[in-house]
Amino acid sequence: MRTRDPARRRVGAWIVGAKGDIAATVMVGARALAKRVVSDTGLTTNLPPLDRLGLVGPGDIVFGGTDVSGAPLRAAAQALNTRSRTVSATTLDAVADDLASIEQDIVCCPQHSWDPSAVTEDLPPLSELVDQTRGHIRAFRERNGLDRVVVVNLMS
Protein backbone atom coordinates (compact mmCIF):
# COMPACT_ATOMS: atom_id res chain seq x y z
CA MET A 1 0.00 0.00 0.00
CA ARG A 2 1.22 3.50 -0.81
CA THR A 3 1.91 5.86 2.08
CA ARG A 4 -0.86 8.27 2.95
CA ASP A 5 -1.19 11.57 4.79
CA PRO A 6 -4.21 10.94 7.06
CA ALA A 7 -5.25 14.63 6.91
CA ARG A 8 -5.87 14.46 3.14
CA ARG A 9 -8.80 12.77 1.47
CA ARG A 10 -7.90 10.61 -1.49
CA VAL A 11 -10.33 9.72 -4.19
CA GLY A 12 -9.90 7.06 -6.83
CA ALA A 13 -11.14 7.53 -10.36
CA TRP A 14 -11.77 4.09 -11.86
CA ILE A 15 -12.11 4.73 -15.57
CA VAL A 16 -13.73 2.25 -17.92
CA GLY A 17 -11.94 2.94 -21.19
CA ALA A 18 -8.81 4.12 -19.36
CA LYS A 19 -6.59 4.21 -22.43
CA GLY A 20 -8.90 6.20 -24.66
CA ASP A 21 -8.32 9.79 -25.74
CA ILE A 22 -10.57 11.44 -23.15
CA ALA A 23 -9.28 9.31 -20.28
CA ALA A 24 -5.65 9.89 -21.25
CA THR A 25 -6.29 13.64 -21.49
CA VAL A 26 -7.86 13.69 -18.03
CA MET A 27 -5.05 11.70 -16.44
CA VAL A 28 -2.25 13.66 -18.10
CA GLY A 29 -3.98 16.93 -17.23
CA ALA A 30 -4.55 16.01 -13.58
CA ARG A 31 -0.97 14.86 -13.11
CA ALA A 32 0.39 17.95 -14.91
CA LEU A 33 -1.77 20.21 -12.69
CA ALA A 34 -0.61 18.41 -9.57
CA LYS A 35 3.02 18.89 -10.60
CA ARG A 36 2.33 22.51 -11.60
CA VAL A 37 3.60 21.78 -15.10
CA VAL A 38 0.53 23.50 -16.55
CA SER A 39 -1.47 26.47 -15.35
CA ASP A 40 -4.73 26.03 -13.47
CA THR A 41 -6.19 29.11 -15.17
CA GLY A 42 -9.70 28.23 -16.19
CA LEU A 43 -10.01 25.33 -13.75
CA THR A 44 -13.55 26.08 -12.62
CA THR A 45 -13.22 24.19 -9.34
CA ASN A 46 -10.65 26.78 -8.27
CA LEU A 47 -13.08 29.65 -8.85
CA PRO A 48 -15.95 30.95 -6.69
CA PRO A 49 -18.32 29.52 -5.72
CA LEU A 50 -16.92 26.04 -6.46
CA ASP A 51 -13.68 26.73 -4.57
CA ARG A 52 -15.65 26.55 -1.29
CA LEU A 53 -16.91 23.01 -1.86
CA GLY A 54 -13.84 21.33 -0.39
CA LEU A 55 -13.28 19.12 -3.42
CA VAL A 56 -10.08 17.11 -3.61
CA GLY A 57 -7.36 18.59 -5.78
CA PRO A 58 -5.90 16.95 -8.88
CA GLY A 59 -2.98 15.64 -6.82
CA ASP A 60 -5.34 13.72 -4.55
CA ILE A 61 -7.01 11.76 -7.34
CA VAL A 62 -5.61 8.29 -7.94
CA PHE A 63 -6.34 6.83 -11.36
CA GLY A 64 -6.98 3.26 -12.36
CA GLY A 65 -9.46 1.40 -14.50
CA THR A 66 -10.01 -1.03 -17.28
CA ASP A 67 -9.46 -1.04 -21.00
CA VAL A 68 -9.52 -3.53 -23.84
CA SER A 69 -6.15 -2.28 -25.09
CA GLY A 70 -2.99 -3.90 -23.88
CA ALA A 71 -0.92 -0.96 -25.20
CA PRO A 72 0.82 1.21 -22.61
CA LEU A 73 -0.98 4.28 -21.27
CA ARG A 74 2.01 6.35 -22.35
CA ALA A 75 1.31 5.33 -25.97
CA ALA A 76 -2.30 6.50 -25.66
CA ALA A 77 -1.10 9.83 -24.26
CA GLN A 78 1.58 10.13 -26.93
CA ALA A 79 -1.10 9.68 -29.60
CA LEU A 80 -2.78 12.82 -28.26
CA ASN A 81 0.37 14.74 -29.12
CA THR A 82 0.90 13.06 -32.46
CA ARG A 83 -2.67 13.35 -33.78
CA SER A 84 -3.88 16.65 -32.40
CA ARG A 85 -1.22 18.32 -30.26
CA THR A 86 -3.78 18.25 -27.44
CA VAL A 87 -0.96 17.48 -25.03
CA SER A 88 2.54 18.85 -25.54
CA ALA A 89 5.62 16.64 -25.61
CA THR A 90 7.00 18.66 -22.68
CA THR A 91 3.94 17.88 -20.58
CA LEU A 92 4.07 14.20 -21.53
CA ASP A 93 7.72 14.00 -20.50
CA ALA A 94 6.93 15.68 -17.18
CA VAL A 95 4.25 13.12 -16.29
CA ALA A 96 5.86 10.00 -17.80
CA ASP A 97 6.62 8.45 -14.40
CA ASP A 98 3.06 9.19 -13.24
CA LEU A 99 1.63 7.42 -16.29
CA ALA A 100 3.84 4.41 -15.61
CA SER A 101 2.54 4.32 -12.03
CA ILE A 102 -1.09 4.62 -13.17
CA GLU A 103 -0.49 1.80 -15.64
CA GLN A 104 -0.11 -0.60 -12.71
CA ASP A 105 -3.74 0.10 -11.76
CA ILE A 106 -5.23 -0.46 -15.22
CA VAL A 107 -6.64 -3.90 -15.85
CA CYS A 108 -6.73 -5.17 -19.42
CA CYS A 109 -10.12 -6.77 -20.02
CA PRO A 110 -10.77 -8.64 -23.26
CA GLN A 111 -13.15 -6.77 -25.55
CA HIS A 112 -15.66 -9.60 -25.56
CA SER A 113 -16.25 -9.14 -21.83
CA TRP A 114 -17.69 -5.63 -22.51
CA ASP A 115 -19.30 -6.17 -25.90
CA PRO A 116 -22.74 -7.82 -25.73
CA SER A 117 -22.69 -8.47 -29.50
CA ALA A 118 -19.61 -10.65 -29.05
CA VAL A 119 -21.13 -12.93 -26.42
CA THR A 120 -20.25 -16.55 -26.97
CA GLU A 121 -20.97 -19.67 -24.99
CA ASP A 122 -17.42 -19.76 -23.58
CA LEU A 123 -17.82 -16.48 -21.65
CA PRO A 124 -18.41 -16.59 -17.92
CA PRO A 125 -21.86 -15.55 -16.70
CA LEU A 126 -22.52 -11.82 -16.29
CA SER A 127 -22.65 -12.21 -12.50
CA GLU A 128 -19.08 -13.55 -12.56
CA LEU A 129 -17.88 -10.62 -14.70
CA VAL A 130 -19.56 -8.20 -12.27
CA ASP A 131 -17.87 -9.92 -9.32
CA GLN A 132 -14.49 -9.67 -11.08
CA THR A 133 -15.03 -5.96 -11.71
CA ARG A 134 -16.03 -5.37 -8.10
CA GLY A 135 -12.91 -7.24 -7.01
CA HIS A 136 -10.68 -5.09 -9.23
CA ILE A 137 -12.21 -1.89 -7.85
CA ARG A 138 -12.00 -3.11 -4.23
CA ALA A 139 -8.34 -4.10 -4.66
CA PHE A 140 -7.60 -0.70 -6.26
CA ARG A 141 -9.20 1.09 -3.32
CA GLU A 142 -7.35 -0.95 -0.70
CA ARG A 143 -3.98 -0.91 -2.50
CA ASN A 144 -4.05 2.88 -2.74
CA GLY A 145 -5.64 3.68 0.64
CA LEU A 146 -8.54 5.52 -0.97
CA ASP A 147 -11.45 7.07 0.89
CA ARG A 148 -13.77 6.45 -2.04
CA VAL A 149 -13.73 5.40 -5.67
CA VAL A 150 -15.77 7.01 -8.41
CA VAL A 151 -16.38 4.89 -11.51
CA VAL A 152 -16.40 6.84 -14.78
CA ASN A 153 -17.49 5.12 -18.00
CA LEU A 154 -15.55 6.56 -20.94
CA MET A 155 -15.83 3.41 -23.02
CA SER A 156 -16.91 3.98 -26.60
Q: Each residue of 103-113: pLDDT tens digit?
A: 999 999 865 55
Look at residue 121 and give its three-state secondary structure.
coil
Q: What is the tens place of the pLDDT at every residue in 121-146?
A: 667 788 988 999 999 999 999 999 99
Residue 4 has pLDDT above 80, yes or no: no
State the Cα–Cα distance between residues 102 and 132, nearest whole angstrom. 20
pTM given for the model: 0.85
pLDDT tens profile 39-69: 999 899 989 999 999 899 999 999 999 999 9
Please report the pLDDT score of residue 3 as a whole number.
43
Please state, in angstroms and rounded to a whole number, the distance separating the CA atoms of residues 55 and 78: 29
CB-CB contact of 25 with 80 (8 Å): yes
| Residue 34: pLDDT over 80 | yes
C-alpha 137/C-alpha 75 separation (Å) is: 24
CB 41 within 8 A of CB 129: no
The Cα–Cα gap between 138 and 91 comes to 31
